């Protein structure tokens, strides 16, 4: 079956521009997670969704970051006024139940110039 | 806070030899532990998990992990390494319910299997 997909696979943007990253989870998975992978910080948890709700947004690094999920499926991570320190690989994962194993997408590599 | 540590940045093994990638954990309550593998320019792939039960957990691609409560360890093992096992390996622990049980990852261990 189809796994988690993310788009775009690569994104290069200029500092100060806004970007949107998309995640399509495995069909039927109610839990969806965003992580960020960077050389300096390793793998960091950003936000999770249960259905369309995001009960805890404390993992988002700043108020420039926001995310939404619609229809209990697709999620979009938006970064406004991008900064060079936002450069990283953004990974999305989904699971059928909270706490169960998570299945990861291939990631979006974001480069801010 | 729930956390894991991977003490080795890199592990080198000759093909055919057994391999071990180390992980120790620090949790309050019962640990829920995972191993993931990441191949170059790919996302993370689930290998195995420990929730409860047998201390020896078997997973994908011939990998297994041993849960040791007294040593707070969850080392990844494979009896005979393959060159294709060369990748980045992450140990992870389930975080709190407030995060939706997100994963807290170790910094990763690079495994290099030489022919």
Search chain B and give the residue with CA nearest A92.
Answer: B43
Distances (CA, A) of A58 to A1, A55, A63: 33, 9, 10
Segment B61-68 shows an average pLDDT of 96
Structure tokens, B30: 């019962």
Segment A5-9 shows an average pLDDT of 97
For residue A10, pLDDT beyond 60: yes
Report the residue of B91, B101, B105 to disrupt the A interface, i.e. the one with the largest count of A CBs within 10 Å: B101
Contact: A104, B98; criterion CB under 8 Å: no
Search chain A and give the residue with CA nearest B91.
Answer: A43
Q: Which of residues 23-52 of B touch A (CB under 8 A)?
A: 32, 34, 36, 41-46, 49
CB atoms within 10 A of CB B20: 14
Contact: A99, B101; criterion CB under 8 Å: yes
DSSP A43: E
Confidence label for A45 from pLDDT (cuts 50, 70 and 90): very high
Residue where the block lists tokens 């709700």: A53
Does residue A8 have a cis bond before it (omega within 30 degrees)? yes
For residue A65, pLDDT beyond 60: yes
Burial status of residue B77 (CB atoms within 10 A of its CB: 0-12, 13-18, 19 or more): middle
Confidence label for B105 from pLDDT (cuts 50, 70 and 90): very high
Contact: B99, A45; criterion CB under 8 Å: yes
- Average predicted confidence (pLDDT) for chain B: 93
What does the alpha-carbon distance between residue B79 and residue B62 come to, in Å, rounded to a whole number?
8
Contact: B101, A98; criterion CB under 8 Å: yes
What pLDDT is stored for residue B42 in this prediction?
A: 80
Q: Which residues of A touch B43 (CB under 8 A)?
A: 4, 91, 104-107
Segment A51-80 shows an average pLDDT of 92
Which contacts of A65-74 are long-range, i.e. CB under 8 A and separated by 24 or more positions? A67/A34, A69/A32, A72/A30, A73/A24, A73/A25, A73/A27, A74/A22, A74/A23, A74/A24, A74/A25
Confidence label for B56 from pLDDT (cuts 50, 70 and 90): very high
* Closest Cα in chain B, distance from residue A85 (Å): 19
């Amino acid at each position: 079956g189809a796994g988690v997909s993310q788009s775009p696979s690569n994104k290069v943007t200029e500092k100060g521009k806004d970007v949107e990253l998309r995640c399509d989870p495995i069909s039927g998975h109610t839990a969806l997670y965003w992580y960020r992978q960077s050389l300096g910080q390793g793998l960091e948890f950003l936000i999770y969704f249960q259905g369309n709700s995001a009960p805890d947004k404390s993992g988002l690094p700043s108020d420039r970051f926001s995310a939404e999920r619609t229809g209990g499926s697709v999620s979009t991570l938006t970064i406004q006024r991008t900064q060079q320190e936002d450069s990283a690989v953004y990974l999305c994962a989904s699971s059928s139940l909270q706490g169960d194993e998570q299945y990861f997408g291939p990631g979006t590599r974001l480069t801010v110039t | 806070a729930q956390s894991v540590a991977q003490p080795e940045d890199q592990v080198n093994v000759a093909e055919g030899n057994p391999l071990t990638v180390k992980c120790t954990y620090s949790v309050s309550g019962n640990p829920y532990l995972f191993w993931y593998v990441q191949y170059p320019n790919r996302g993370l792939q689930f290998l195995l998990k420990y929730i409860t039960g047998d201390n020896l957990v078997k997973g994908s691609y011939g990998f297994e992990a041993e849960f040791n409560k007294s040593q707070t360890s969850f080392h990844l093992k494979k009896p005979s390494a393959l060159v294709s096992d060369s990748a980045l390996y992450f140990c992870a622990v389930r975080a709190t319910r407030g995060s939706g049980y997100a994963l807290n990852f170790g910094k990763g261990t690079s495994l290099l299997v030489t022919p």
